Chain A
Amino acid sequence: MSRIDVRKTYKLYIGGQFPRSESGRSYVVNDAKGRLLANAAQASRKDARDAVVAARAAFGGWSTKTAYNRAQIVYRIAEVLEGRREQFEAELRAAEGVSAAKAKTYVDAAIDRLVWYAGWADKITQVVGNANPVAGPFFNLSTPEPSGVIAVVAPRGALLGLVSVVAPLIVTGNTVVVIASQDNPLTAITLGEVMATSDLPGGVVNVLTGSQSEIAPWLASHMDVNGIDLTGVEDAALASELEVAAADNLKRVRRPAPDTDWLLEPGLDRMTRFMETKTVWHPIGV
């Protein structure tokens, strides 16, 4: 007797848990050749709202962890990803139709990217912070602090693209609501499983799958979201609509960059864009 397949149900990743969409909807995800791969949950605006609540709740604890501890946790994600690399390589080959060698390159790069950003957690303050010279008996110190809850529209690169937009936000202490690539959402949920088992507190990263144009406007106009990263937005009209909506509460906005080559070294900009500079004046003792 042949064994019945045990297939995975791809759900959302919100607040450390894997709920179905509140709307009960799902959509068909095809592989590169147009054959059915799986059904993914199609998130609604209420799932986005719940994700923001979870991200906000997680922000206090995550942003006050020591930078060193955040580095350890992001490094831990890399470790767990390394242990499941075969699964990710297989998923990339199925979803994006890339060769075995190419899939290995992407997974390698994603793991290395996590390690690279993990290293930055306790160094970014030294590099972009400063002791400012002032004309008075004061220490004048500028330090970068996380902005808060950041919404991210992830680019197409199902694994490397997603890691490259999420890792720089969480190492600096932000919490994230990310809309996974609409065409390749499955790897994002599998990456959620990795994060759920890597000491990353629930709610620090929340992954929604579904329609970008349906969910993103709600996050862009949400008054409790502090920044929005539009990297994966390919429709110029939608991008400008989102930027206008984001202006209502002066969100920090990162403009679309859908064609980025994710294999290149990213630089610091993805970290510094979503940080606030705090400057304190401290009297020098006599």
Chain B
Amino acid sequence: MTPTSSSTASTASSAGVFDDVVRSESSLRRFLHGLPGVDQVGCEARAAGLATRSIKTTSKAFAIDLAIRMVDLTTLEGQDTHGKVRALASKAMRPDPADPSCPATAAVCVYPDMVATAKQTLGDSGVNVAAVATAFPSGRAAMDIKLADTRDAVEAGADEIDMVIDRGAFLSGRYLDVYEEIAQVKEACGDAHLKVIFETGELQTYDNVRRASWLAMMAGGHFIKTSTGKVQPAATLPVTLIMLEAVRDFREQTGQMVGVKPAGGIKTTKDAIKYLVMVNEIAGPDWLDPDWFRFGASTLLNDLLMQRTKMTTGRYSGPDYFTLD
């Protein structure tokens, strides 16, 4: 899943657009605090309104297959084993063994030490390996350790790196530190794609989500991601809406597309379809693609498969017929 050539080509040009902004701590703060404030009530009402759309029959079938292709099948537990990662990678390639027409997921998302195992199982199947690096999930480590963590994962074969920002620095207003951190990790990523996790549950306000989005996009993140999944609340519709607005506005200004990944708490097909409706309405149909929108999830996949089976067989399916993971 590599980005289209036009968007990679524009990376360099967009860096120039913000040279003035990132020149100093104060100019960066002026820019971020100059972003229009988020109307909290309006944003939540808009998200709730979009969530009432009814998606049925062929549209629903399309949405389910698209959502499966967008899943970053995730296991980020202290108890992960190589066996579990292999099982998960097999499931990512063939989510429904009983139905060859079922598409593969976009990626599997694991800790850096599991990257080699995942890569070995996935081979050249087209399913990417994403690794969470930079002292996930807290991000509390020295910079050189974060960079070493990132390089480790890339060397082991990770196609995508999910980094966490230093929320402490962000909340205390040291935006330039966060900017530098993202830029350095991006450099360490080399060819791997960089997803920047904000942990929106810790950012306190919607205004902060908008600022973090712009900060990460200016620093060169390929994706902006809501949460680690370890903090509640994780991904919510209003937060994702703000991030989708940010990537839309960023493209208008720079011509460069950035992806969005809500992660954590999306468990049902109904939820996933609400997100897809929002992607289409806020960012636009260009983002309805696994290259530009992902779901960080594990339990979601089984519900998508059950709904898919319901649509193909005409009867309700049950969890007994899908793997536990």
By a beta-carbon cutoff of 8 Å, the part of chain A in contact with chain B is: 49, 52, 56, 218, 221-225, 245, 248-249
Contacts and interface: CB of A to CB of B under 8 A. Distances in A.
B304 to A, nearest CB: 16
Interface stretch (B215-223, B294-302, B317-325): B317-325
A224 B318 contact: yes
A224 B317 contact: yes
A49 B315 contact: no
Given A221-B314, A224-B316, 12 more contacts: A49-B316, A56-B318, A218-B315, A221-B315, A222-B318, A223-B315, A223-B318, A223-B321, A224-B318, A224-B319, A248-B315, A249-B318
A248 B315 CA distance: 10
Nearest to B315: A221
A253 B306 CA distance: 24
Contacts of B320: 223-224
A110 to B, nearest CB: 32
A225 B321 CA distance: 12
Contacts of A245: 315
A46 to B, nearest CB: 10
Chain B CB count within 10 A is highest, among A49, A245, A248, A249, for: A249
A49 B319 CA distance: 13
27 contacts: A49-B316, A52-B316, A56-B318, A56-B319, A218-B315, A218-B316, A221-B314, A221-B315, A221-B316, A222-B315, A222-B316, A222-B318, A223-B315, A223-B316, A223-B317, A223-B318, A223-B320, A223-B321, A224-B316, A224-B317, A224-B318, A224-B319, A224-B320, A225-B318, A245-B315, A248-B315, A249-B318
- Residue of B315, B319, B320 with highest tally of chain A CB at under 10 A: B315
A52 B321 CA distance: 16
A225 B318 CA distance: 8
Nearest to B321: A223
Interface of B: 314-321
A191 B35 CA distance: 59
* Chain B residues touching A, majority SS: loop
A222 B310 CA distance: 9
A225 B317 CA distance: 9
Query: Which 10 residue pairs across A and B have the least CB separation, nearest first?
Result: A224-B318, A221-B315, A223-B318, A222-B316, A223-B317, A49-B316, A223-B321, A223-B316, A223-B315, A222-B315
Contacts of A224: 316-320
Nearest to A222: B316
A221 B319 CA distance: 15
Contacts of B314: 221
A221 B314 CA distance: 9
A248 B316 CA distance: 12
Contacts of A225: 318
A56 B318 CA distance: 10
Contacts of A49: 316
A173 to B, nearest CB: 18
A221 B321 CA distance: 14
Contacts of B321: 223
B305 to A, nearest CB: 12
B259 to A, nearest CB: 33
B323 to A, nearest CB: 15
B307 to A, nearest CB: 11
A56 B319 CA distance: 10
A249 B319 CA distance: 13
Contacts of B315: 218, 221-223, 245, 248
A231 to B, nearest CB: 22
A117 B199 CA distance: 53
Contacts of B318: 56, 222-225, 249
A49 B306 CA distance: 12
User: Quick one: which of B317, B318, B321 has the most chain A CB within 10 A?
Assistant: B318
Contacts of B319: 56, 224
Contacts of A56: 318-319
A221 B317 CA distance: 9
Contacts of A249: 318
Contacts of A222: 315-316, 318
Contacts of A218: 315-316
A75 B316 CA distance: 34
Nearest to A248: B315
Nearest to B314: A221
Nearest to B317: A223
Residue among A56, A221, A224, A245 facing the most chain B CB atoms (10 A cut-off): A224
B269 to A, nearest CB: 12
B99 to A, nearest CB: 14
A252 to B, nearest CB: 15
A66 to B, nearest CB: 26
Nearest to A45: B316
Nearest to B319: A224
A52 to B, nearest CB: 7
A221 B310 CA distance: 11
